[in-house]
Amino acid sequence: MRFNKAFLVVIILVLMSGSAAAQEKSTGAIKGKVRVETGTPSGITVIVRRGEKEVTRGTTDKNGDFLISRLQPGIYGVTLRKPGLSVGTMEEIEVKAGKTRTLGDRLILTIDEGTIAFIGGSVFTAEGRSVPNAKVELAKILEDGSVKKIDGRITTETGSFKFRLAPDPAKYRVSVKIEGVDPISKDVEIDGPAIYRVALSLPPRKP
């Protein structure tokens, strides 16, 4: 009796293996690599569809790679989505039985400026003149009150600067350091996608 059960299990496994192999030969796959303008390419949703109808979906790994398998032969479209990034699409992708269609690494998603936050502003002297080439640092204020530096900029010829951030609620500190002048800073609270402006006026230079 035990022999019969073991034999039955072996038969089932063989049949399942044969079925999977047959399915791989009768279906195809799509693979590719997604690059992003900024941030990480992981966690991008890859939607495979026929026309406007979704067939299946997957996600990119930490390197931006994805593989969508077991697709019936035919013509497909691909939509790429991730919060904060523009939506990417590709059409007329032909999938053949037993083949993997490679899309390469030409899939690039840019920042969707309507879904992110900006901290922008200008640096001025005590007399009100713009300050070019000033070092501006951006730090995140953590819940325990500590500060973690996350980015830096050099002001333009007109003394301006801009940082792009996730729109999640958070508090940041913008600081300016110039030789011969006491450093100054201002705190900015982010509560959604918008442009948050700050003006930093430097104190008079030390004698």
Q: Per-residue pLDDT tens for 78-127?
A: 999 998 788 999 999 999 999 999 998 878 998 787 778 899 999 999 88
Q: Are residues 105 and 122 in the same domain?
A: no
What's the CATH number where 42 sits?
2.60.40.10
Asked, for residue 13, whether it belongs to a domain, the answer is no
Q: Same structural domain for residues 105 and 125?
A: no
pLDDT at 62 over 90: yes
Domain final residue pick, 84, 109, 134: 109
Per the structure block, which two tokens stand in for 104? 């390469």
Tokens of 98: 């037993």
% pLDDT > 90, the chain: 63
Range 3-7 average pLDDT = 55
pLDDT digits over 158-197, tens only? Answer: 999 999 888 889 999 999 988 878 889 999 999 988 899 9
> What is the DSSP pairing of strand 195-201 with strand 117-124?
parallel
Point out the domain boundary residue: 56, 89, 109.
109
CA nearest 86: which of 106, 59, 115, 110? Answer: 110
Residue 195's beta-bridge partner residues?
118
On whether both 125 and 197 belong to a single domain, the answer is yes
Whole domain around residue 179: which residue ranges?
116-201
Q: Indicate if the pLDDT at residue 7 is higher than 70.
A: no
Q: How would residue 22 be classed by pLDDT, with cut points 50, 70 and 90?
A: very low
In a domain, 14, yes or no: no
